[in-house]
Structure 1
Amino acid sequence: MEKKQTPISQKERKKAMTPEARKKRKRKRRIIWGSIIVGLILFRIFLPYIVLKYVNGKLENLEEYYGHVDDIDIHLYRGAYEIKDIRILKKVDKGTLKDTIPFFKSPSIDLSIEWSAVFKGSIVGEIVVEEPVINFVKDKHKGEDVKADTADFAQLVDDLMPVTINRFDIHNGEVHYRDLQARPKLDIAMKNINVTAINLTNVTDSKDILPATLKATAEAYEGKFVLNAKFDGLSKVPTFDMNVELNGLNLVLLNDLLREYGNFDVKKGTFSLYAEAAAKEGKFGGYVKPFLKNLDVVQWNKEEGDFKQILWETVVASGAEILQNQRKEQLATKIKLSGTFDKVHLNKWYAISYVLRNAFFDALRPAVDNSININKLKEAGKKTFLEKLFAGNQAKKEARKEKRAKRKNERKKK
């Protein structure tokens, strides 16, 4: 019988190798490792250009917009890349470009892995946008266009960020509304916008029905804007609880806007707004409380405006004076909102009742009421006289329409 050969170990092979074979082996290893290192260096050098071409390709393929990025920085040590000097412009005339105000621009957008979430077992990303500016230009950015384009931009974010976004930050942003046909041209802006949205994918294990939070602050014409919201970022239907405050906006600084769209201006006055809203299972509820304080509308002045203008300003000023709470010098109302996301219901009679009540009885408290939350989409309370008189009849009409529609459907089935 033949004897089985015992396998030769690696050490024994090395000993059996000639000095020349050893040198060749070492040289081969050096070449392999050198090639890998050179390859990695070249990959690192060319990676920004590869990513830049990819990003610009995605921006160029947007349906209604055209975008361009000047530079890309790669930060491999923290799993991030930075988009520098991005500009997105609205396309006109079936895809051709026109020299216009950019819809969006930012000097820096940082997309990275959120390491705090990695330690909790989830690979998700975060985006930080520095000093973004968004411009809505009248007759160029219509409501229906913005709604349709939202899907475009959502897809763009998915393409640029390879992992699910869990945190989103905006630092020192601006939103402008521009009317280039107005005289003088209008540029109404909200500035110093700071936004932080966290736990968008519910990385933090929580039994809370609203695990994600969003906080936003901004400034507008000496007024302070604050938004606080809790929501479910993974829910297919809107599920949230939010409140909004805008305090002390100086109306005098908005006289160009008031002249253009309201055909009047003011000598003094501040505007404030308080709102709450909540939604779940496709339904929402809430209210909006606008306040005008110390309002002084410009009236009769022979040196400016024609007779129609003077008459209109006099009517506006008189109306404000009649409805104003004389003791506190403020005009306020409370507008209730309720309905579903396919049909919005605004209770106008309730709003009118609150105007009259504020004018002749008591002033509304200028603050959030904390009366709306996700478990309570409607406020409790008796209907006002105007609501009973008008809104009740309207509700009956709507109920009759629903009954008729049901009967028609039943007949069709038969």
Structure 2
Amino acid sequence: MDEHKHRKRWKWKKKHSIIAGVVVVIILFRLLLPTFVLRYANRALANLDGYYGQVADIDIALYRGAYQLDRLYLNKVDSASGEQARFFAVQRVDLSIAWHSLFRGALVGAMTFDAPELIFTKEKAEIDAVAKDTNDFRQLLKNFMPLRVDRFEVHNGSIRYTDSTASPIVDISLEKAHIVAENLKNTNREGEKLPSTIRADAQAYGGTLALDMRLNALAEQATFDLTAEIEGANLPELNDFFIAYGRFDISKGTFGLYSEFAADSGRYKGYAKPIIKDLEVVGLEDRNDSFFQRAKEAVVDLVGSILENPEEEQVATRIPIEGSFGQTDVLVWEAIWQILKNAFIEALMPSIDHAIDINSPKEVEGRKGVFDAN
């Protein structure tokens, strides 16, 4: 009897020792996992072709299937000199399973960026370079998020363009951006032509930017319907840009831009409608400028006054843009006509026209543009 109790007690101890051992292993694994993942991430970021980056810390939340990258940065590396230029930095990236999609039977991921900053510099901002940077950045995110991303959100983001070779140095940006992209892998609203959405807003020099886009993120060719507008941007705050590239500054004025674009089956159609209100180029701050500088700014001011609608006090045009990917037609004469129409006939409305939808690209087929931008 005593031997039977002894065996029973021994089995009980053995069973609980195994359970305790497993628990200890799990705890150790949980404690060491962030260190292993951090080392892996930093090795991957340090060995990227053309880039160098690091992550300060990694937190793992197994209970919700997520992990966070803290204080991540990624710099572009010049292949000749080895010098680094800032490209991307973010305070925190949260990568997790999208539970709302999982309940519908789709195993996809969600990403949230806190205070990200994306920087384009002049020597790196050619169209081909931007496209390469974008593709490389997408591949980097895929490396960190093994699941297909169905949703991402950006809080307090910024996008900057800098040119340190200009005089004065140009540094322009969109700030406090909030971006939400949903249903990128079409986990719901199946059967719709444009099932995915991207919405964004940001601050732009005292004004605001708003973007609303419906798209098919899974389509082989770009398929989307987009509206975007900038309102109330204060032009004098952009004087470093005007001085560097136009050799004049602006005393007063606000800028707005209203645009619609749609793309389908390799073709696209849309317009951009820039509107400048209350424009004054010559001001009291120019009294110490040279004679030639004041004369140049006076000419710019005169042209602005001639083309300004007297009632609305605005210079505006509407630039139609259409074509197929690889060939763009900018309808220049239509844009010139719209400038004259705004100045002398009827002021253009500072708003979206609601003239473009997903069916508009069909009108482009077989049409020859006035001016080939390529």
Structure with higher Rg: it is 1
Shift of 1:248: 0.9
Q: What is the CA deviation profile of residues 201-256 of structure 1, one whole-angstrom value per residue up to 9, with x for unaligned ones? A: 11114321100011000011111100000001111110000100111111111112
Shift of 1:321: 1.1
Misfit runs of 4+, over 4 Å: 299-303
Which of 229-238 and 140-149 deviates more?
140-149
Which ranges in structure 2 are unaligned for 5 or more consecutive residues?
A: none
TM-score between both structures, scaled by the size of structure 2: 0.93
Q: What is the CA deviation profile of residues 251-280 of structure 1, one whole-angstrom value per residue up to 9, with x for unaligned ones? A: 111112111111111221111000000011
CA contact (8 A) 2:50 2:79 kept: no
Work out whether 1:92 is the aligned partner of 2:95.
no
Shift of 1:57: 2.0
Work out whether 1:251 is the aligned partner of 2:210.
no
CA contact (8 A) 1:300 1:310 kept: no
Instruction: Name which of 38, 56, 74 aligns with 1:52.
Output: 38
Q: Look up the match of 2:336.
A: 352
- C-alpha spacing 1:172/1:347, structure 2 compared with 1 (3 Å): same
CA contact (8 A) 1:286 1:378 kept: no
CA contact (8 A) 2:169 2:244 kept: no
CA contact (8 A) 1:62 1:152 kept: no
Paired with 1:264 and 1:319, the residues of 2 have a C-alpha distance of: 14
CA contact (8 A) 2:177 2:202 kept: yes
Question: Relative CO higher for 1 or 2, CA cutoff 8 Å, sep ≥ 6?
Answer: 2
Q: What is the CA deviation profile of residues 104-151 of structure 1, one whole-angstrom value per residue up to 9, with x for unaligned ones? A: 111110000111111111111100000111222222444322211222
Shift of 1:184: 3.5
Q: Look up the match of 1:214.
A: 198
Secondary structure in structure 1 of the residue aligned to 2:349: coil
Q: Look up the match of 2:15.
A: 29
Paired with 2:163 and 2:44, the residues of 1 have a C-alpha distance of: 30
Work out whether 1:112 is the aligned partner of 2:96.
yes
Instruction: Name which of 354, 359, 366 aligns with 1:375.
Output: 359
The two structures, once aligned, show a CA RMSD in angstroms of 2.4
Aligned partner letter, 2:227: N
Shift of 1:170: 0.2
Q: Look up the match of 1:401.
A: none
Instruction: Name which of 49, 53, 57 aligns with 1:71.
Output: 57
Paired with 1:215 and 1:300, the residues of 2 have a C-alpha distance of: 41
Paired with 1:270 and 1:335, the residues of 2 have a C-alpha distance of: 19
Paired with 2:19 and 2:176, the residues of 1 have a C-alpha distance of: 51
CA contact (8 A) 1:372 1:378 kept: no
Q: Structure 2 matches for 1:142-221, cutoff 5 A?
A: 142-221=126-205
Work out whether 1:123 is the aligned partner of 2:107.
yes
Which ranges in structure 1 are unaligned for 5 or more consecutive residues?
A: 1-14, 396-414
Instruction: Name which of 18, 27, 40 aligns with 2:26.
Output: 40
Aligned partner letter, 1:105: A
Residue correspondences, number? 370
Secondary structure in structure 1 of the residue aligned to 2:72: strand
Shift of 1:50: 1.2
Shift of 1:300: 9.8
Aligned partner letter, 2:8: R
Shift of 1:179: 2.2
Shift of 1:379: 7.7
Aligned partner letter, 2:354: N
Shift of 1:299: 6.7
Aligned partner letter, 1:359: A
Paired with 1:20 and 1:230, the residues of 2 have a C-alpha distance of: 71
Secondary structure in structure 2 of the residue aligned to 1:18: helix
Aligned partner letter, 1:135: I
- C-alpha spacing 1:301/1:206, structure 2 compared with 1 (3 Å): closer
CA contact (8 A) 2:108 2:149 kept: yes
Shift of 1:314: 1.9
Q: Look up the match of 2:66.
A: 80
- C-alpha spacing 1:302/1:66, structure 2 compared with 1 (3 Å): closer
